[in-house]
Amino acid sequence: MASKGTVKAAANFKASADAEVLHKAMKGIGTDEDAILQLVCARSNAQRQEIKATYKTLFGKDLINDLKSELGGKFETLIVALMTPPTAYDVVSLRNAIKGAGTDEKVLVEILASRTPQQVKDIIAAYRKEYDADLEEDICGDTSGHFKRLLVILLQANRQTGVQEGDIENDAQVLFKAGEQKFGTDEQTFVTLLGNRSAQHLRKVFDAYMKLSGYEIEESIKRETSGSLKDLLLAVVKCARSVPAYFAETLYNAMKGAGTDDDTLIRVMVTRGEVDMLDIRAEFRKLFARSLFSMIKGDTGGDYRKALLLLCGGDDA
Q: Do 109 and 68 share a structural domain?
A: no
* Residue 203: inside a domain: yes
Among 209, 241, 273, the domain-final residue is: 241
pTM: 0.96
Q: Is 21 helix (H, G, I), strand (E, B) or coil?
A: helix
1 within some domain: no
DSSP of 192-261:
HHHHHS-HHHHHHHHHHHHHHHSS-HHHHHHHH--HHHHHHHHHHHHHHH-HHHHHHHHHHHHHSSSS--
Give domain status of residue 99, yes or no. yes
Same domain, 171 and 234: yes
75 domain-assigned: yes
Co-location of 174 and 236 in the same domain: yes
Asked whether the beta carbons of 209 and 217 are under 8 A apart, the reply is: yes
For residues 305 and 248, state if they share a domain.
yes
Residue 307 is part of a domain; what is its CATH number?
1.10.220.10
Q: Which of 44, 63, 83 is the last residue of a domain?
A: 83
Structural domain that includes position 146: 86-156
Residues 144 and 175 in one domain: no
Task: Say how many C-beta atoms besides its own lie within 10 A of residue 86's C-beta.
Answer: 18
SS3 283: helix
pLDDT of residue 184: 72
Question: Do 215 and 199 share a structural domain?
Answer: yes
Query: Do 230 and 177 share a structural domain?
Result: yes
Please tell me the predicted confidence (pLDDT) of residue 100. Answer: 82
- From 241, 268, 302, give the residue that closes a domain: 241
The answer to whether position 45 is within a domain reads yes
Q: Residue 29 falls within a domain, yes or no? A: yes
- Number of domains making up the chain: 4
Same domain, 78 and 22: yes
Q: What is the pLDDT of residue 183?
A: 66
Class of residue 114 by CB neighbours under 10 A (exposed 0-12, middle 13-18, buried 19+): buried
The string over 223-258, giving b where at least 16 C-beta atoms fall within 10 Å of a residue's C-beta and e elsewhere, is ebbeebbebbbbbbbbbbbbbbbbbbbbbbebbeee
Cα–Cα distance measured from residue 238 to residue 217, given in angstroms and rounded to the nearest whole number: 10
Please state, in angstroms and rounded to a whole number, the distance separating the CA atoms of residues 16 and 20: 6
Distance between CA 90 and CA 98 in Å, rounded? Answer: 12
Q: What is the pLDDT of residues 153-178, one digit of tens each?
A: 999 999 999 999 999 999 999 999 99
Q: What is the mean pLDDT of each run of 10 residues along the chain (317 residues)?
A: 87 98 95 98 98 98 98 98 98 96 94 98 98 98 96 97 97 92 83 98 98 96 94 98 98 96 98 98 98 98 98 94
Q: Output the pLDDT for position 225.
A: 92
Query: In sequence order, which ranges of 85-214 are alpha helices (DSSP H)?
Result: 86-99, 105-114, 117-131, 135-140, 145-156, 168-178, 187-196, 199-213
> What is the C-alpha end-to-end distance of the chain, expressed in Å?
27
Residue 105 included in any domain: yes
Please list, in sequence order, all residues whose beta carbon lies within 8 angstroms of the beta carbon of residue 228, skipping any fewer than 6 positions away. 105, 109, 143, 147
**Do residues 90 and 75 share a domain?**
no
- Tens of pLDDT, residue by residue over 104-157, are 999 999 999 999 999 999 999 999 999 999 999 999 999 999 999 999 999 999
Query: Does any domain span residue 304?
Result: yes
pLDDT at position 1, please? 57
Predicted local distance difference test score (pLDDT) of residue 89: 98
> Do residues 29 and 72 both lie within one domain?
yes
